[in-house]
Amino acid sequence: MWQYLRIDHLPPGARCTFCGRELRRGKGIIVADSSGQEHFSGPACAKEHVGEAEERILDISRIALCVVVKSKKVKSKAAVPPASSVPNVGNEKPSTPPLPPLNKVETYVRLRCEMMPDFKLHASAVLKEAFEVLERDGKLPEHLLQRISGLMRNADRDNSIFSDANVRRCVAVQYWISVALDHTREGRQDFLRGIQSALHSRWLLTQSQISGLNSWGQKLRSEVDDFPLLMTDAFDGVTVPDFMLGKRSVK
């Protein structure tokens, strides 16, 4: 039994698991088989083999736009979020009315646990429990929704690295670093790996680090014409809790 996971960046040479066709757009649909193994799929094959989605699909390529400078000169093809219940990453027209937005708390849990496993203290025990329940049952019970909502409110109030907005910024910057790595020869990746390591350990980047990414992106645009300009002030004002500097568990 197949299920939709998300729309995300695809590495060069990625092929549809159903038809074997190479997926060249740089982003596509991630599906999971009955064992939870992730696979790539094109939109037509996903519709045929997985069927109509019962809820909106988590679109990482759309989240990635939250750190992109709005510019007429640098356009990102990632800005084509489908409104239909079927993840449309091609040119297909929506065939069904839009579904309600994804649950914000459940999306937060998925971003922390599914998209940030390499980040320092990426998930607490309660988040891991919630993610397991979400994977098993497809939704969270009220007590977990309430508990995680409280944690999110506190993080938002403090503008901490664990706020929903900052988690999305981290996922977004990680997305663009992945794109850059895919188009940079292995022997020349040290700078990008260093930036990636800093993001994973601190959950933020400095203005100078993002400026460095933008300079790297300028070189990449000869090959990746839709690589965007990133906001250098994306993480300005974000606070880091004291326990992130020690050994205490994340809350």
How far, CA to CA in Å, does 20 sit from each of 7, 16, 39, 45, 103? Answer: 18, 5, 11, 10, 33
Q: 200 near 190, Cβ under 8 Å?
A: no
The per-residue pLDDT string of the chain (251 residues; one tens digit each, 9 = 90 and over) reads 898 999 998 988 899 999 999 998 888 899 999 888 999 999 999 999 998 877 788 999 999 999 999 865 544 444 444 444 455 555 555 555 666 668 999 999 999 999 999 999 999 999 999 999 998 898 999 999 999 999 999 999 999 999 999 999 999 999 999 999 999 999 999 999 999 999 999 999 999 999 999 999 998 988 887 899 999 999 999 999 988 876 444 44
> What is the distance between the alpha carbons of residues 205 and 200, in angstroms, rounded to a whole number?
10
CATH 3.30.1740 residue ranges of the chain are 1-99
pTM score, whole prediction: 0.83
Alpha helix locations (H) across the chain? 43-49, 60-63, 104-114, 125-137, 142-158, 164-182, 190-202, 207-220
- d(C-alpha 64, C-alpha 176), whole Å: 7
∠ Cα 145 148 153 (to 5°):
115
CATH of 1-99, one of 1.10.150, 2.60.40, 3.30.1740, 2.60.300: 3.30.1740
